[in-house]
Amino acid sequence: MPSQALSRVRRRRAAIAIVAVIVGLIVIERMTRVLVDWLWFSSIGYTGVFWTILDARVLLFTAVFAISALVIAASGLLAHRYARHVVPSVAKFEVVVDVGREVAPHVLWRWTTAGVAVVLGLLIAASEDSNWDMILRFIHQVPFGERDPIFGRDIGFYLFSLPVYVAFKNWLLRVLICSAIIAAVIYGVRGDIQIEKPPRELSRAAATHGSVLLGFILLTKAGSYWLDRFLLLYGDNGVVVGAGYTDIHVVLRVLWLLIGLAVAAALASWANVRWRGYRIPAAAVLLLFGGAVVFAVIYPALYQRFYVKPSELRLETPYIKHNIALTRQAYGLSQIAIRPFAAGQGLNLAELQSNRATIDNIRLWDVQPLMDTYAQLQEIRTYYRFLSVDIDRYRLNAGYRQVMLSARELDSSMLPANAQTWVNLHLLFTHGNGAVMSPVTEKSAEGLPSFYLQDIPPVSNGGPVIREPRLYFGQGAQGYVIVKGSMPEFDFPQGKENVYKAYDGHDGIGIGNAARRILFALQFGAPDILFTGYITAASRILLHRNIEDRVRSIAPFLVLDRDPYLVASGGGLFWILDAYTTSRWFPYSQPVTGGDTNYIRNSVKVVVDAYNGTVNFFITDPDEPILRTYQRIFPGLFKPLDAMPHDLRQHIRYPEDLFLIQAQLYRTYHMDAPEVFYNREDLWQFPRELAGIDAANAPGAQMAPYYMIMRLPGEKRAEFVLLLPMVPSQRENMIAWLAARCDPPEYGKLVVYTFPKDKLVYGPFQIEARIQQNTEISQQISLWNQMGSRVIRGHLVVLPIENSILYVSPLYLRAASGQLPELKRVIAAYGDRVVMQDTLPHALAALFDDTLPASPSSPATADERTREALAHYNRALERLKAGDWSAFGSEFDALRPLLESMGGSGTQNRK
C-alpha cells in the first residue's frame, strides 16, 4: 500500500479512536450520574420517584429520537435513490478503511446521510427531553371542574392537553423541515435542482419528493391554525388579556378560513406529484401565507382600529368580565374577603393596653441590621455564617411572641486558604451548629438584641430547648461530606480546644466498599475518595445538602418559595419550604409581571430535617387539580397536612412570594366593574418608604410585605398575619391594607380592609416626610451623623389597631468604621403627631399621654413613687437572675418614668 494511503488509514483510525473515547467518556459520565442518583433516591426512600422520572425521560427521548432520525434518514435515502444524476466528482475520493478495501462514493454518501439524521435526531430528542413532565401530566390529568367561557372546554384541557398538542405540532414541524432540508441539499448536490441560472428546473424525483413533504408541512400548518383558536385565550390587546371582540368576531373566523386554505394547499401539493412542477406548490404556499398576512394580520388590525376602538368599552365589556373573573380565579383573588376600616382618630393608651399582644410584638429589628449584629455577636468563628434571618412566632413562657432567628451554618470557604484541604472540606468540617433567636421588640441597654437562644451549644433564655443543634442540611451547604469515618468530625470550639462528635443520623449512602468509592470518585472527580485512609466500612456520603437543591432533586416539577425558614421544634431544627404548583396555560388570566406564569397555588409544604435530611411533602390544598395530577403520577410522595407533627404545624405561615404576587394582581383586579377596570379609576399601588443609611436622600423604595402578631379588627385573639398597605395610583395616602392569616384554623384566608374614600389617611411615605420634617428629629440625626456615627433608618411599620392606624419606625446607630448596628431610638406617629424616644413604651407614652383623661385622684407622693421605683428595681434584679430577659426589660423600662417624675422632668423629653 502506498505511504499516502497508509497515512490516511492512520489518521482515520486515530479519528475513530478519539471519537470512541469521547463517546465512551460521555456514556460513563451519564451512567455514573444515573447510578449515583439511584443510590441517593434509594437512601432517602423515594426510589419510586426516581424510576418514574427516569422511565418517562428515557421513553420520551428514545421515541422522539427514533422517529425523528428514521423520518429524516428515510427522506435523505429516498433522495439518494431517486436522484437522476450520479454522485458528483467532488465526492469521488478513496476512503480506505482497511488494507486493500475501499468504500464506494455512493455508500459513503448513504452513511453520511444516516449519520446526519442520527445527529439531528439526537438534537431534536434532547430539546424535547424536558417535556417528560408535560407528557405525564397529560396522561394522568384530572378535570379542573370549570369551563372556559368561549369554547366551553374544561380548564383542565388548557392546563394539561393543549401544551402537549402545541409541543407535538412544533416537533412535527421540526422533523418535516429537517427532512426537507436534507432532501434539498442532496438533490442540489446531485444536480436535480437548478436554480442558479436558466433554465431553472426540478427533476421529477425532486419535484415529487418536495411536493409530498410540502403537503405534510402544510397539513401540519392546518393543525397549527386549529390550535391557534385556543391560543387566542392568551392574547393581550392592551385592554383585555385573553380573546377580545376582534379575536372572537374576526380572527376566529379567519383561522377557520386559513385551516381550509392550508388543507387545500396540502392537497394541491400532493396532486403536484402527477405534474411534478414547481408552479403549483409555489402558488399554494403563496396563497396560504399571503392570505394569512392579509386576513390574519392586516384585516384584524384595521377592524380593531376603525370599528372596535371607537366603541371599545361597549364591545369589550363581556371579555373584560372574562379576564377579571378568570384572573381572580387563577390567583385565588376571588377568595379575598372585603371589610371596611373606619380609620378613626380615637386611639388612646387604654386601647393600646387592650391590644398588648400587638404592642408587645411590634417589630423593631430589621433583617439587615440584625444580621450584622448576629454576625458580630454570635458567629463565634470565621467559618460560621448566618445566611438569612427568618421571622416566626412561638408560644413561650413570655407568651405568644414574634421572633427572629437564624441558623448558624458552616461555610468552609471561610477557612484560611491553606486550610481548605480535601480532608477539611469533606471529612472534618461537616456541619453548622445551632441557631440564635431574639424577640422582635426587645433590646438591651446598649441597643443590642435580647437573645432567647444564643451561643454554642445553644443556650435557651426563655426560648425553645434545642437538644440536637447540628445542621448537616441548610441554605448554604453545597458540597458533599463523608461521615462515620475514622476521623472525628469537628463539632464546635470550646475555649482553646475543639469538641468532636460523629454523625449518627439516618442520611447518607454507604461508601465503604471499593466499587462505591470508585463510583463517587468518578462522579465528583475526586481521587482522594479512592485513596484516603479515613473511609471505613461504616462510612456514608451525604449529598444534596443544600435544602433547595435537595427538594428540587426530588420534585423538580414544584416551584419553591425564595425564603425557606428555620423552625426549632421538639428539640431539633427543621426547615420549612413553601412549594407551588404553577402553570402558564390558564385561559384569560393576566401573567405575573416579569414572567409567564398565570396560575399559582401554594399546594405543598416541605419539611426538611436539618440533621437527618429527611424530606416530607405535605398537602395544603388537596383540591388543587395540578397537585391531584401529580398525586396520580407519584403515588405516596405527598402526605396529608394532618400527618405533619402538630408542633411544626403551628409554624406554617402564608408564603411571602405568593402574597406579593396576589397583592400585585389585586392592585388592578380588585376592580370588578368592567367600566371601572377599563378606565383604571381605582388603581392601587404599593406604598414607598425610606430605609437604610442614606434614607434622607433616597427617592423611596417599594414597601415589602411584613409579618406581625396583631388582633385583626373584629377578632377576639391576636394572630400571626402577613400585611401590606396599599395607596392609590399616583398618590401617597393610604387606601387599604391587605392581610393574609397564618394561624390555624384561619390559615390561608386573605382579608382586605378598605378605608373611606372621603377621608385622608396618611400613607407610609407621607409619614416618612413628616419624620424628615420634624425639626428635633432631623437635628438629632444630623448631630449623630457628624459625630462619627452613621444613622440607619429602619423600615416603617404600619400597625392597624382597633379602627386606627399607628406608625412605628426604628432608628439604628453604627460607628462609621464598625459593623455593629445598635437600636437607639424608636419613632412613633399617630395622626399629626410624631415622637422619638429611647424605647417603644416611652414613644407610645409620649405619643398618647395628652389623650388620657385627667385622673380625679391626687398625684402620688414622692415616697410612694420612690417605693414603686424600688419595687420595679428589685423585680428587675429577680428577673435578671432568673434569665427572664423579657420581664427584666419591662421592669427596667418602668423605672424611667418614675425617676423622671421624681426629678420633675416628666414631660421634658417629649418630641
The answer to whether residues 412 and 533 belong to one domain is: yes
Report yes or no on 889 lying in a domain: yes
End residue of a domain, out of 629, 654, 679? 654
Cell matching residue 512: 465503604
pLDDT of residue 788: 76
The answer to whether residues 412 and 558 belong to one domain is: no
Report yes or no on 366 lying in a domain: no
The answer to whether residues 495 and 469 belong to one domain is: yes
CA dist 457 and 491 (Å) reads 9
End residue of a domain, out of 593, 622, 654? 654
pLDDT of residue 616: 98
Cell matching residue 47: 426510589
Report yes or no on 290 lying in a domain: no
The answer to whether residues 539 and 601 belong to one domain is: no
Report yes or no on 194 lying in a domain: no
Cell matching residue 397: 413562657
- Contact of 502 with 484, CB cutoff 8 Å: yes
> Which of 665, 654, 705, 560 minimizes the C-alpha distance to 329?
665
The answer to whether residues 616 and 516 belong to one domain is: no
End residue of a domain, out of 614, 634, 654? 654
- In the numeric block, the cell 368576531 is attached to 249
Find the DSSP H helices in 45-103: 47-82
The answer to whether residues 559 and 541 belong to one domain is: no
The answer to whether residues 445 and 563 belong to one domain is: no
- Contact of 779 with 788, CB cutoff 8 Å: no
233-236 CB contacts, 8 Å cutoff, 24+ apart:
233/148, 233/150, 233/158, 233/587, 233/588, 234/585, 234/587, 234/598
Q: Is 822 helix (H, G, I), strand (E, B) or coil?
A: strand
* Full DSSP string of 708-721: EEE--TT-SS-EEE
The answer to whether residues 384 and 533 belong to one domain is: yes
Report yes or no on 133 lying in a domain: no
The answer to whether residues 535 and 615 belong to one domain is: no
Report yes or no on 730 lying in a domain: no
Q: How many distinct structural domains can be found in the chain?
A: 3
pLDDT of residue 857: 34
Query: Model confidence over 698-742: pLDDT tens digits?
Result: 677 899 999 999 999 989 899 999 999 999 998 999 999 999 999
Low-confidence ranges of the chain (pLDDT < 70): 1-6, 8-9, 12, 84-106, 195-200, 692-698, 850-911
The parent domain of residue 472 ranges over: 380-545
- Contact of 106 with 85, CB cutoff 8 Å: no
The answer to whether residues 493 and 605 belong to one domain is: no
* Full DSSP string of 656-671: HHHHHHHHHHHHHHT-
The answer to whether residues 533 and 563 belong to one domain is: no
